[in-house]
Chain A
Amino acid sequence: MMMTMMMNGGEATEAELFLNCDDMSVLERQRVQLNYHQYHHPGFEPTLPCFFPNSSKMNVGEVDSFLPSAGLDLPEIYGELHGDARISVSPGNITTESENSKKRKFGCVDTETKVCNEKKKMMMMMDREVAVEEEEEEEKSKVTEQSTRSIMKMKEQNSCSNDSSKVTKDSQRTDYIHVRARRGQATDSHSIAERARREKISERMKFLQDLVPGCEKITGKAGMLDEIINYVQSLQRQVEFLSMKLATVSPRVDFNIDDIFAKEVVSAPMMNLPNTVMPPHMMVNSGYPHDMVNSGYVHFNPMQQVVTSSDPLSCFNNGQSATMWDSDVQNLYSNLGV
């Protein structure tokens, strides 16, 4: 997926930063794209429509009295947060990701309000996974823009709650995530949380529809899940089959890489291996001096390039023609006497 976005001022540049960040996982990128889709095409996003809520004012009153639940035992809606908090391995990684997604959420809300400026604010879906907060995130929150109608408060780590009310922004440490209810729907805090959950799920299911081939026509959750299960099972079976095939095809476990690559062209991003340790057995076979073998690093003089023929590894090419080939690698394979 291409991430070409029109940059439109301050709030977009932060996104640009973390779009280029290599640490982001697939899902972070997807979320970014979705949120920017919302940013630029607000009318397309069915999950965040703008209405005139008549009941919103009443709602604010009752919900403000709802006390946030303390402690890490977060309700189901914050399942992702909960999961991440339990299983966080490297704090550095997690915080950068949550910082990024938090920045993103701020950006998303602000643009929403700009779009619905005359209309009253609707329910905001906040990803609770973002709320694993630490000091750095609070500083970042001060950077994001103020919005006129609806502003956001992010609650610190332990006190996310089920409540829903007006979204406000504050740069204090203890903040709340306020959400407003839609017109004509139950304002019960539980049902709002449930609705947010359901919408998150359908959001994710849409991504899955893109991934799984042949799913464009299936509309129901059960049918989609069926297709997903079948697809995952088929992929797993393919892995089994391919590994069995590979085991039968090649007599050695490491299937003699020089056989495979010496004859092929691989595109530029692929196989950039200037400093890989050559498996010693390969070098011994090609008659290299023993000390080179033992050192584990190979240096070559530049030599003529290897002309290659067919391209079974075209999956790595992504349709591009081979431009560069790391000269060390080329020389490596040519020296092996293909």
Chain B
Amino acid sequence: MQPTSSMNEQFLKKWQMGLQIFRPSIDNTSVSERKRAIKLSADVAMASLRKGTTCWSRALIQKAATEDSFLVRQMLAGIKEETLINRKLPKIVCHRKIVRRSKKILMRRKSRSAMEEVTAKAKKLVKRKTKGLRNVVPGGEFMSNNVLLIQETLDYIVSLQTQVNVMRSIVDAAEAGVER
């Protein structure tokens, strides 16, 4: 599924709304400040399109709220911003040493054939990759199983594509405007 033009539209509207909030503040003179404001409002706009239905959007909103909760509150006005901001996601805590020790014991007990070793290595590789994916997708550590992870990744990718498309077109248009 590719991002639709209506998604682009909605994202742009929300993003503009977020940027309006920054407009009155005179501190946005440095490039880095402006960049931070732009990126933050773009991220919150992208996440708010999902209206709290997906895990990654909630995690993204929470992260943004730690940076600038006023902005988030304004942008999410009417979409249960309080619950979204204040909620604490259940974190999956894994005591790595204990897990590793018990796994070592299990591995010693098992007698391994060639086939089993191959599949075990493949599984390890997949596990490592899924861990990497969890680190990349916002809120990935809170997704309890792989099916949910892949689902959220799907949605996240589509939203990211929307975001990138809109931003790129704005940048191109702005540059074209500057040149004239």
Task: Please give, as numbers and ranges, the residues of chain B lying within 8 Å of A274 by CB-CB distance.
Answer: none
Considering only CB atoms, which chain A residue lies closest to B7 in the complex?
A26
Contact residue among B5, B23, B133, B151 (Cβ-Cβ distance under 8 Å from A229): B133
Q: Which of B122-180 contact A (CB under 8 A)?
A: 122, 125-126, 129-130, 132-133, 136-137, 143-148, 150-151, 153-158, 160-161, 163-178
Binds B, one of A116-124, A141-149, A251-259: A251-259
Chain A: residues with CB nearer than 8 A to chain B? 1, 25-27, 29-30, 76, 79-80, 82-83, 86-87, 89-90, 93-94, 97, 197, 200-201, 204-205, 207-208, 210-212, 220-222, 225-226, 228-229, 231-233, 235-236, 238-240, 242-250, 252-255, 257, 259-261, 263-264, 267, 269-273, 276, 279, 281, 310, 312-318
CB of B122, distance to nearest CB on chain A (Å): 7
Q: Are the CB atoms of A26 and B154 closer together than 8 Å?
A: yes
**Centre residue among B80, B126, B173 by max chain A CB count within 10 A:** B173
Kindly state whether residue B55 has any CB partner on chain A within 8 Å: yes
Q: Are the CB atoms of A246 and B174 closer together than 8 Å?
A: yes
Report 18 cross-chain contacts, Cβ distance below 8 Å, ordered by A residue: A80-B147, A211-B158, A225-B133, A228-B153, A235-B157, A239-B163, A239-B167, A244-B35, A247-B34, A249-B174, A254-B20, A255-B174, A263-B177, A270-B5, A276-B13, A279-B20, A315-B168, A316-B169
Contact residue among A1, A225, A257, A259 (Cβ-Cβ distance under 8 Å from B130): A225
Docked CA distance A238–B126 (Å) = 27
Kindly state whether residue B73 has any CB partner on chain A within 8 Å: no
Q: Are the CB atoms of B157 and A89 closer together than 8 Å?
A: no
Binds A, one of B45-53, B93-101, B107-115: B45-53
Q: Are the CB atoms of B137 and A253 closer together than 8 Å?
A: no
Chain B facing A: main interface SS? helix
Considering only CB atoms, which chain B residue lies closest to A205 in the complex?
B150
Contact residue among B12, B20, B22, B54 (Cβ-Cβ distance under 8 Å from A25): B54
Chain B: residues with CB nearer than 8 A to chain A? 1-2, 4-6, 8-9, 12-13, 16, 19-20, 22-23, 28, 31-32, 34-35, 37-39, 42-43, 50-55, 58, 80, 83-84, 87, 89-90, 122, 125-126, 129-130, 132-133, 136-137, 143-148, 150-151, 153-158, 160-161, 163-178
Contact residue among B13, B156, B167 (Cβ-Cβ distance under 8 Å from A243): B167
| Known contacts A208-B154, A249-B171, A313-B173; 7 further A-B pairs (Cβ under 8 A) | A1-B2, A25-B54, A26-B154, A30-B154, A204-B147, A236-B160, A253-B23
Docked CA distance A259–B125 (Å) = 51
Q: Are the CB atoms of B174 and A79 closer together than 8 Å?
A: no
**Centre residue among B55, B87, B169 by max chain A CB count within 10 A:** B169
